[in-house]
Amino acid sequence: MKKLRFESLELLSLKERKARRISFHPKMTVIIGENDVGKSSVIKSIYWTLGAEAAKVHPNWVEANIKSLLTFTVDDVRYRVLRERNRFSFFTDDGKLVIRANSVVKELAPFMAELLDFKLVLSSRAGEPEIPPPAYAFLPFYIDQDDGWTKPLESFANLAQYNAYKSRLSSSTPAFCRTSSTSWRQTSVRSRSSNVSSRRIETLFRRP
């Protein structure tokens, strides 16, 4: 896989009419807080924005009705992705729309596989070769605190659509083990987050 680095995450709750922007250090980031303040939800939201649903999500987070905007780089080329419910919109750094996807399997998966140089192909239930959703690209780099420690390579939801995916994924891991420099398994030197107004975030989410 290519070098993926997360730069910032912007979250807007349509229910609560609140927003937050979180910036990530270019090398390492740690999120520190008491229990049940949303640390895991931030991490899960990064993957959710990229089309990978966590195995477990807090009900309050689901009810918040979140829009998310993730700024990231792939081999130092900057992109932004906006997720609104089940629609994904990818933009270049200058705001040009790259793709708008409504289907994770048919539209988002091939685009993300090409963007990240993720070459895994699995057999669908019909026996046809298929590029799997983004969750399969992120599985080796994410351990969900609820189930990930006891169920290896099961930290995302809806993985049973492919038979024997674990063996295929394990055999492919050495080819794409260059993960983001913002790794959630590392300790860190800095974490920075700030509140921003709902109006400012809403403006970002209205980009064409």
pLDDT digits (tens, 9 = 90+) for 43-67: 899 999 999 998 888 788 788 888 9
pLDDT higher than threshold 80 for residue 149: no
What's the mean per-residue pLDDT of the chain?
81
pLDDT, mean of residues 68-83 = 97
CATH architecture, range 4-205: 3-Layer(aba) Sandwich (3.40)
- Runs of H (alpha helix) within 66-188: 109-116, 135-138, 165-172
Identify the residue with better confidence: 93 or 30: 93
Q: How far apart are CA 82 and CA 69, in angstroms?
A: 4
Q: What is the pTM of this model?
A: 0.78
Instruction: Output the pLDDT for position 172.
Output: 65
Residue 182 has pLDDT above 90, yes or no: no
Return the top range by mean pLDDT from 20-24, 63-67, 150-154. 20-24
178 compared with 168, residue with greater pLDDT:
168
Residue 143 has pLDDT above 70, yes or no: yes
Predicted confidence band at 191 (pLDDT cuts at 50, 70, 90)?
A: very low
At 144 the pLDDT is 83
Instruction: Tell me: pLDDT of 94 over 60.
Output: yes
84-88, Cβ contacts within 8 angstroms, sequence gap of 24 or more: 84/205, 88/51
In the chain, pLDDT over 70 holds for what percent of residues? 81
- Average pLDDT estimate for 21-27: 92
pLDDT band for position 188 (cuts 50, 70, 90): very low
Task: Name the DSSP letter for residue 131.
Answer: P
Q: Are strands 87-92 and 97-101 parallel, antiparallel or unpaired?
A: antiparallel
Lowest-confidence segment of 8-22, 76-90, 135-149, 167-181 by average pLDDT: 167-181
For the cut 90, the answer to whether the pLDDT of residue 112 exceeds it is: yes
Name the residue with higher pLDDT: 82 or 179.
Answer: 82
* 144 φ, ψ (degrees, to nearest 5): -70, 135
